[in-house]
Structure 1
Amino acid sequence: MFTGNHVLDELKSDYQYTDNILQRLIELLEFYTSIHGKALVVRFDLKYPESYRYVYSNDDIMKFSAYIVQFYKHQGYDPFYMWVREQETGLHPHYHFLILLNGNNVRSYHYVFETAKSIWGNILGVSPLGLVDHCTKGKNGTHHENGILLVRASGNYYQRCSDVLRQVSYMAKIEGKGDYLDGVRDFGMSRLYRR
């Protein structure tokens, strides 16, 4: 329902995308929805405080990914994730983060932000206030849906898949990626295993 979705053409008229990241994002969504009849899709952004030391690697986001996966595995939510690193101006990168959770076991997404804040703050050793963006507003202040529950058996499944693509495709935009020439990877994600 994601590969070949009509929304991809619409989105490509708004932004240029990194094909590799967009393809991997679609593979992740296709994989997860093939093993779960209900999937909760949540996106958020992670930032560094302005006064934080210069960041040379993806160590922090890799630790964050490991901790949040461990937390949700323990809850029985079968978490899968993808993160994308961006840095345009300033000393610090920021990260777009996508987490997929088993919608049969969890339906509310608001606590995901609190979990992310707690983990990110602990990793950085700072207060997480203002460092986790909920991705519910666009640049012009318009509302963006987040925490979309995909239900494969529902009559509006294709439409909801389109909504998810609108929500998460921003992660694959070219702008802010790969132009800082530091040799650090632009993205990471869960391993997709064969069934």
Structure 2
Amino acid sequence: MLSHHSKIHIIRFDLRVYEYTANNGIITAFNRRLHKWLKRKYNLKRVGFIWCRELETAKQQHYHYALMIDGHKVNYPHEITNKVKELWQQLDGSEFFPDNCYYNVKRDDYETIQAAIWRISYLAKARGKGYKPDQTKNYGTSRIITTT
């Protein structure tokens, strides 16, 4: 994202479901709705994201999510987190937990970039992964091509 935008806005949050599902259809539907709304609302060309599926002590999975968008168009998450909550509840009425964690990252600001990477790296932890059918993914990411 930083190869396309000199400033990006990163929002980190968690999504819980009431019942276990063998696939990630709910996160796919969520992504489609959220990205459509974001692109229309903020006139965005691209939306970056990372999500991971975890299942630990609870009987149902939950998702950790990091959203990355053009920081020149958005620099505070309030309206977006409200929309995230609305969309997630429309899908299955489950819970949304804002992490109250967001970053405004500038391309050459090493310190802020490292802080955001540290926070997002939680999604890569091994614990809680793998409790799913073979064809179901533990992770999903956007595929944004780097520019030079």
Give TM-score scaled by structure 1 length.
Answer: 0.69
Mapping for residues 1-195 of structure 1, pairs under 5 Å: 32-49=1-18, 52=19, 54-74=20-40, 75-77=42-44, 78-124=46-92, 126=93, 128=94, 131-136=95-100, 146-152=101-107, 157-178=109-130, 180-183=131-134, 184-193=136-145, 195=147
Q: Percent identity?
A: 26
**Which amino acid is the alignment partner of residue 36 of structure 1?**
H
Counterpart Cα distance in 2 of 1:194 and 1:35: 7
Larger Rg: 1
The 1:37–1:194 alpha-carbon spacing in structure 2 relative to 1, beyond 3 Å, is closer
What residue identity is the alignment partner of 2:28? M
Whole-Å Cα distance in 1 between the matches of residues 82 and 125 of structure 2?
27
Structure with the bigger RCO (C-alpha within 8 Å, sep 6+) is: 2
| Contact residue 4 and residue 146 of structure 2 kept, 8 A | no
The count of corresponding residues between Structure 1 and Structure 2 is 144
Match of 1:13 in 2: none
SS at match of 2:76: coil
Q: Distance in 2 between matches of 1:56 and 1:91?
A: 12
1-structure distance, mates of 2:146, 2:107: 20
In the TM superposition, residue 158 of structure 1 has moved relative to its aligned partner by 0.6
2:12 partner SS:
strand
Structure 2, unpaired ranges of 5+:
none
Q: Note the residue ranges of structure 1 that are not aligned, 5 or more in a row.
A: 1-31, 137-145
SS at structure 1 position matched to 2:88 = helix
Question: 1:67 is aligned with what amino acid?
Answer: R
- The Cα of 1:181 is off from its aligned counterpart by 4.7
Query: Letter of the aligned partner of 1:59 in structure 2?
Result: G
Considering fraction of residues, name the structure with more strand. Answer: 2
Cα RMSD between the aligned structures? 1.5
Q: Quote the offset at 1:192 in angstroms.
A: 2.2
CA distance in structure 1 between the aligned counterparts of 2:107 and 2:2, rounded to whole angstroms:
8
